[in-house]
Amino acid sequence: MKLEGVELRRVRMPLVGRFETSFGAELDRDILLVRIVSDTGEGWGECVAMNDPLYSAEYVDGAQQVLERHLLPRVFALPDATAEAANAAMAQVKGHPMAKGAVEMAVLDAELRAAGVSLAEHLGAVRDRVPCGVSVGIQPDPDTLLREVARYVEQGYVRVKLKIAPGWDVEPVLAVRDHFGAELLLQVDANCGYRPEDVPRLLELDDADLLLIEQPFPEDDLDTHVELARRSRTPVCLDESITSASVARHAIAVGACSVVNIKSGRVGGLLESRRIHDLCAEAGVPVWCGGMLETGIGRAANVALAALPNCTLPGDTSASSRYWDPDLITEPFELQDGMLPVPTGGGLGVEVDAERLAEVTASVTWCPAG
Ligand code: OSB
Ligand code: MG
């Protein structure tokens, strides 16, 4: 495939509801979309970098700059742009996995669209629909939380993840467990919000019979995750810490986690995600597909990933309506009995809604390959 150029498009989309985590609150997103144009057609990628560098070091303005100045020129120099070749060309640049992942997604989408092969099939998916969880932000008080969780349970979500932070943990989590009973699949996510001295507090969450606790401590502190994993009944899952397949292998080897959250943007792409999936399978560690409040474009990739064999826990692959009114794609993801269908069309298998796209576009930058 010969690239003609890449369009970097910024879209501003309000979330349907405020989303609060231990690192901050999101009300609307400023999203960077990558559209590559090649001799065989086009391909779309979504960069999951957030407005501010609070989840990880990346943020959307920085992602756009590193793409324009450092990543795209390297990809444009390739005589034949494949996803593998693009990754190899970008590898010389340190860090910036979300920016790299967006390019890889767009190149893969173009390649697979031209070949008529779905991303799910390419990655080795074994399911045609995936069970869906929902991530529920920090609420003003426990009553509001119970109402919020009830709304999602009524919609059919099969698993609920509660965001926690110091001052919003044991009480609201036990309130949800008490109210919804033992059958509800429940887990929590702290987004690095705790410190080693908080271990005793987190051990109290064992009473809530959680599926897992996600990333309680800072991303570079594997030791405290090991300590909690040893002392707690609740399985420890890592998100922010897992930045590559080799880090995943190490985290598992030292006992820092027994479950892994995979996000393609966090690890630099879908192919690295597949490697993490595979090494976790070999180690007997279940994985699930995380989310970063994506539009339907990035969501399509997440749903394909969630269809892999070792994605045995429900992911944060919620329906379009959980985030957007409306989404950016012509056929939004809708829950059917708690499941989302895995797209079967070529590449990502979704079509961008041109009218909606125009409505939310804040800027477009064309980067020619020549
Ligand atoms: O830690 O999983 C996370 C959203 C933004 C950044 C980090 C996270 C999240 C979520 C929401 O939990 C997942 C989703 O529904 O997309
Ligand atoms: Mg998380």
| Residues 223 and 191 sit within 8 Å (Cβ to Cβ) | no
Closest CA to 239 of 154, 312, 184, 163: 163
pLDDT of residue 74: 98
pLDDT of residue 172: 98
Tell which one of 138, 316, 324 to mutate to probe ligand 1, the residue whose CB is within 8 A of the most ligand atoms. Answer: 316
Q: Over the stretch 85-119, which tens digit does the pLDDT of each residue have?
A: 999 999 999 999 999 999 999 999 999 999 999 99
Atom of ligand 1 nearest to the CA of 293: 16
Domain residue limits, the chain: 3-116+353-368, 121-341
In the numeric block, the tokens 């309000």 are attached to 14
Tell which one of 98, 130, 293 to mutate to probe ligand 1, the residue whose CB is within 8 A of the most ligand atoms. Answer: 293
Which parts of the chain register pLDDT below 50? Answer: none
List, in order, residues 6 or more apart from 42 with CB less than 8 Å away.
35, 36, 110, 113
pLDDT of residue 2: 97
Closest CA to 249 of 238, 234, 264: 238
pLDDT of residue 315: 98
Dist. CA 154 → ligand 1 center (Å): 21
Number of H helices, E strands in the chain: 14, 13
Q: Helix %, strand %, coil % for the chain, to 5? A: 40, 25, 35
pLDDT of residue 370: 85
Catalytic residue among 2, 94, 100, 163: 163
What CATH number is given for 3-116+353-368 in this structure?
A: 3.30.390.10
Closest CA to 180 of 151, 204, 212: 151
Q: How far apart are CA 26 and CA 54, in angstroms?
A: 11
- Ligand 1 surroundings by CB, under 6 angstroms: 55, 135, 189, 191, 239, 290-293, 316, 318
Dist. CA 239 → ligand 1 center (Å): 10
- Catalytic, 263? Answer yes
Residue closest via CA to ligand 1's atom 1 equals 191
Dist. CA 80 → ligand 2 center (Å): 36
Q: How far apart are CA 248 and CA 273, in angstroms?
A: 10
| Residues 119 and 284 sit within 8 Å (Cβ to Cβ) | no
> Looking at the domain 121-341, which fold is it?
TIM Barrel (3.20.20)
Dist. CA 259 → ligand 2 center (Å): 12
